[in-house]
A and B are shown apart, each in its own frame.
Chain A
Amino acid sequence: ENPQQPIVNYFKNL
């Protein structure tokens, strides 16, 4: 199974 990408990789931390 491919690893699940963390959502923080896609959205900027404010």
Chain B
Amino acid sequence: MFEARLVNSSTFRKVLDAIKDLLNEASFDCSENGIQLQAMDSSHVSLVSLNLKSDGFDKFRCDRNLTMGMNLTSLGKVFKCSGADDTVTMKAQDYADTVTFMFESKKQDKISDYEMKLMNLDQEHLGIPDTEFSCIIKMPSIEFARIIRDLSQFGESIVISCTKEGVKFSAQGDIGTGNVKLAQTHNFDKEEESVTIDLQEPVALTFACQYLNSFTKATPLSNQVKLSMCENVPLVVEYQIPELGHLRFYLAPKIEE
């Protein structure tokens, strides 16, 4: 028996919104530790990794490890039926081929349930090695989304270069060039507005705008985003989901020919 209850169903809805551009379907691996998802986009260029801890749920029970393959368009339809303040309870029997989502309104005056068919997905799992990153940038997630959106107008790629002075985002194309520099700023009163850089050595890497833009769909999940970079290693774009876990995206740098 699997049962997970989340008072803020909107958090799960935000997770779905964040990954549905990249993934059509995905397997949710449920265990006593929580719910994990790891999947590559259809072009096998980027990797999505979601971890929702069991103790972040308001109720969590998983008697037997369970992999639930879901069509994310269908799952999106189910969550469209929920209210913004609803509580969601997900339930599945052992070896079931369906999962049930029950939505309860705050006042408990409306309860709806939707049963969705599960899929058998043959998904590859990748082993992600521990990496000593050259630099780790933490910045407001809205600012990151804005910069990626703005610079995407100039070219198909963005260079992210990081030194002890700050981080620079650059793009160039037919119409010209764009550069955005951010200095480290520490706002002790408003931690979420800070830009912090943990630098081992300067690094400059090039990434495809298309994927960076997709990653920023996770902006509503978190005030801050963490970018981890190292030469010849995929970029990690991480959004912490308060009290529940994290959503990470991995993207390989473009290599100069």
Q: Which residues of A contact B (CB under 8 A)?
A: 1-14
Query: B159 to chain A: closest CB distance in Å?
Result: 12
B127 interface contact, C-beta 8 A = yes
In the complex formed, the residue of A with least CB distance to B207 is: A4
Instruction: Tell me the count of chain B residues lying within 8 A, CB to CB, of chain A.
Output: 27
Q: Which residues of B contact A (CB under 8 A)?
A: 40, 43-47, 124-129, 156-157, 206, 208, 211, 233-234, 250-257
16 interchain pairs, CB-CB under 8 A: A1-B254, A2-B157, A2-B255, A2-B257, A3-B255, A4-B45, A4-B254, A5-B45, A5-B253, A6-B252, A7-B251, A10-B234, A12-B127, A13-B125, A13-B127, A14-B125
Query: B173 to chain A: closest CB distance in Å?
Result: 10
Which of B44, B254, B255, B256 is the one whose CB lies under 8 Å from A7? B44
Query: B19 to chain A: closest CB distance in Å?
Result: 15
B126 near A7: Cβ-Cβ < 8 Å: yes
User: Across the interface, which residues of B come within 8 angstroms of A5, CB to CB?
Assistant: 45, 252-255
User: Across the interface, which residues of A come within 8 angstroms of B129, CB to CB?
Assistant: 11-12
Query: B158 to chain A: closest CB distance in Å?
Result: 12
A7 near B127: Cβ-Cβ < 8 Å: no
Docked complex Cα distance between A8 and B252 (Å): 9
Chain A binding surface SS class: loop
B255 near A11: Cβ-Cβ < 8 Å: no
Since A3-B255, A13-B127 are in contact, a sample of 11 more A-B pairs with Cβ atoms closer than 8 Å, ordered by chain A residue number, is: A3-B254, A4-B45, A4-B254, A6-B252, A7-B46, A7-B234, A8-B44, A10-B252, A11-B126, A13-B124, A13-B126
User: Across the interface, which residues of B come within 8 angstroms of A1, CB to CB?
Assistant: 156-157, 254
B127 near A14: Cβ-Cβ < 8 Å: yes
If A1-B156, A4-B45, A5-B255 touch, does A10 touch B127 (CB 8 Å cutoff)? Answer: no
B45 near A10: Cβ-Cβ < 8 Å: no
User: Across the interface, which residues of A come within 8 angstroms of B233, CB to CB?
Assistant: 10
Docked complex Cα distance between A5 and B211 (Å): 12
A6 near B128: Cβ-Cβ < 8 Å: no
In the complex formed, the residue of B with least CB distance to A5 is: B252
Docked complex Cα distance between A9 and B156 (Å): 22
